[in-house]
Structure 1
Amino acid sequence: MINQFRNLNPINLLLLFAYTFFMRMAIFAELPSALQFEFLEPYAKFLIHIPIGEVLSPATNVFFAAIIIYVQAILFNRVINNHVLLTKPGYLPALLYITSASLFMPFLVLSPTLICNFLLIWIMDKFLKIGKSTTAIMPMFDIGMIIAIGTLIYFPFIVMLVMIWLTLLLYRSFDLREWLSGLVGFLTIFFFLAVYYYWNDSISMFYKIWLPLGNKFPSVFKINYDDYLVLVPVLVMLILASLQLRENFFRSFISTRKAFQMLFFMFLVGLVSFYTKPDFRLHHFLLCVPPGAVLLAYYFSNATKRWFYESLFLIFVVTIQYFLFV
């Protein structure tokens, strides 16, 4: 299966579409009686209310979630191929994106983080272009606005602001205007939100939006380890990918090295940003799928022992299906 997606054969688009629904067999086989989908954070609903979650049946919810994952996978695949992050262009990034976005049952339904991944892929593309730009002021301003829009949808997305400065550290020498432009872009969106609150005599509530940023990072985690055994193949592949990347690191182009460093930081930021939402759900970790899928795709793009990497991917898929059904 891996060999099939190592090339740009157009038939792979149809195979990916079928594969997207194959990975969702478990939820289609036993649909929940009801599914809630909140498209915007409460403070954004004050500005605009979109009752999407109130009109979708569970079947429609899961169907549209699958379509969104497929579209995101194609967009994601295009970004990775355009920036030449793998040894050769193909559909491996899309394959690994769809697979990684099927790890847990909450990943299979509509959620704010699923919508935010459109923005995350867009941001990823803009970050990867930074090293080729003569100036980063306008791109960073745009990224700041995109992060602000994502924050209206899902508050922990605000932590992606850190990525602006981490990326600038990786790609460019210090320029105060570039460092501030992203923050200005972010504040531009929230300035209009603040004006709307003021017009409605609710400006005293505006400061409450930022209270979650003061949350303490939890020191104790209650984890049912049986629910996360599906991550064992993922960890194995991530370790193998890291070793492969380390072996090729200094033989790669400088832009490729910086790109993988940036994606590693993006993965970490997406992982730890859950603390800003005390009632976060498992679907939060969909934010880790785009950067994580790049690393997995890198391993399968460079692996040489076919019997091993095909078997490893098959174990990965079977493990996901097993835990989704049981």
Structure 2
Amino acid sequence: MLLKVLRRRSPLYFILIPIIALLLWLDAFQNPVSLADYSGQMPLYQSILCILNCNALYLNILGFLIILLISYSLIQLNEQFIFIKQRTDLPSGLFILIASCATLANGMHPALISALFLLLSLKSIFKIYHGNKSITSSFDAGLLIGLASLFYLPTSLFLIWFVWSLIILGSFRLREFLGGLIGFITPLFFIVCWYFWQGNLNQFIEHSKMIFSQNDHLIAFSMSQILFWIFLAILSLISIFFTIWGFEEKRVRSRKYLIIIVALFITTIASGFLFPSAILAQAIIAAVPLSYILSYFFVMNRNTKVSEILFAVLLASCILISLIK
């Protein structure tokens, strides 16, 4: 019954979402800590740290606002492309729960900004399909991934996801590929030129190498967190299987969009294996595609009893993990 109510469209979501997010982020405001040191960050995130004077509270307020922006953007994207046949606000709530509870702490992290840019790049990729401006959309997608990497460098690996998406869409042509590649290189080119002009190009290269090899501070797992992640992993596998091979008939366009979302999630997991120390960042980014994947399962699954039980367990687990972490 709870899932039946929450998966519908309701104006109350626009009130409930900030309240739920605020409750989950209370500790981040009461006991603010820095999740990312200045010395180990990319140039654009260092600029934000400078503007906010590395104040942990101000940074967490910014992170909270980005969380809300992503959650509302998730709804808008499905409204525009309708890959989940039933209009629903559920992805918004699931994103906040996963991003806030699956991570080891709440607060501002450069991966949050990268997650926002990846969501925007997802929108650009969707526009490529049967679009009259496929080259422009490809350029925009590459540009957004390039900007995301200037906040959190491992996001540059998602250029592979962009190529994968072109293949899924059947739009892997030289012009779309080059458009995305040029878009990706553009912000990096300007940053490299800036450092070269300042005479610090070698320093920037060495700094980038250090970021790829550094360890995050938050690497301790409690038993409750491990159990929660195991349940979330099992639920994710069930939802991915249902999304790709589910019994619901889907339009060709919707099916391609959903596979691209699954590909984004798989790329995030693969990135986590390449950088196991950056588990916090990967969990934040993975929450974007996972919120859609889980929403599709909960909304479109005809076995409502199973959906209700799994959703109740997920909700209870999120509440418990937020109370005891």
Normalising by structure 2, what TM-score? 0.84
Note if contact 2:150-2:188 (Cα within 8 Å) is conserved in structure 1.
no
CA 299–275 in structure 1, closer or farther in 2 if over 3 Å, else same: closer
Gap runs ≥5 in structure 2: 214-218
CA 206–51 in structure 1, closer or farther in 2 if over 3 Å, else same: closer
Length, aligned pairs only: 316
Gap runs ≥5 in structure 1: 216-221
Note if contact 1:37-1:52 (Cα within 8 Å) is conserved in structure 2.
no
Note if contact 1:266-1:291 (Cα within 8 Å) is conserved in structure 2.
yes
User: 1:38 deviation in Å?
Assistant: 5.1
Give the partner amino acid of 2:292. V
Tell me which residue corresponds to 2:24.
23
Distance in 2 between residues matched to 1:261 and 1:46, nearest whole Å: 31
CA 53–316 in structure 1, closer or farther in 2 if over 3 Å, else same: farther
Tell me which residue corresponds to 2:261.
263
CA 119–38 in structure 1, closer or farther in 2 if over 3 Å, else same: farther
Tell me, yes or no, if structure 1 residue 70 matches structure 2 residue 68: yes
Deviation per CA, 1:262-305, whole angstroms, max 9, x where unpaired? 11111121222246658525233211111111110001111345
Distance in 1 between residues matched to 2:107 and 2:131, nearest whole Å: 38
Note if contact 1:40-1:112 (Cα within 8 Å) is conserved in structure 2.
no
Note if contact 2:103-2:284 (Cα within 8 Å) is conserved in structure 1.
no
User: 1:50 deviation in Å?
Assistant: 3.9
**Which aligned pairs between 1:288-303 and structure 2 lie closer than 5 A?**
288-303=286-301
**Which aligned pairs between 1:96-175 and structure 2 lie closer than 5 A?**
96-106=94-104, 108-175=106-173
Aligned-pair RMSD on alpha carbons? Answer: 3.1
SS at match of 1:86: coil
Give the partner amino acid of 2:283. F
CA 271–278 in structure 1, closer or farther in 2 if over 3 Å, else same: closer
Note if contact 2:45-2:110 (Cα within 8 Å) is conserved in structure 1.
no
SS at match of 2:285: helix
User: 1:225 deviation in Å?
Assistant: 7.3
CA 127–40 in structure 1, closer or farther in 2 if over 3 Å, else same: farther
Tell me which residue corresponds to 2:216.
none
Distance in 1 between residues matched to 2:298 and 2:170, nearest whole Å: 31
SS at match of 2:246: helix
Note if contact 1:237-1:299 (Cα within 8 Å) is conserved in structure 2.
no
**Which aligned pairs between 1:40-79 and structure 2 lie closer than 5 A?**
42-44=41-43, 48=47, 50-52=49-51, 54-58=53-57, 61-79=59-77
Distance in 1 between residues matched to 2:103 and 2:261, nearest whole Å: 25
SS at match of 2:238: helix
Note if contact 2:83-2:255 (Cα within 8 Å) is conserved in structure 1.
no
Tell me which residue corresponds to 1:318.
316
Distance in 1 between residues matched to 2:83 and 2:148, nearest whole Å: 26
User: 1:35 deviation in Å?
Assistant: 2.8
Tell me which residue corresponds to 1:35.
34
Distance in 1 between residues matched to 2:255 and 2:8, nearest whole Å: 23
Normalising by structure 1, what TM-score? 0.84
Tell me which residue corresponds to 2:246.
247
User: 1:166 deviation in Å?
Assistant: 0.8
Distance in 2 between residues matched to 1:52 and 1:32, nearest whole Å: 21
CA 134–322 in structure 1, closer or farther in 2 if over 3 Å, else same: same
Identity %: 18
Distance in 1 between residues matched to 2:270 and 2:212, nearest whole Å: 14
CA 128–33 in structure 1, closer or farther in 2 if over 3 Å, else same: closer
Tell me, yes or no, if structure 1 residue 287 matches structure 2 residue 288: no
SS at match of 1:34: coil
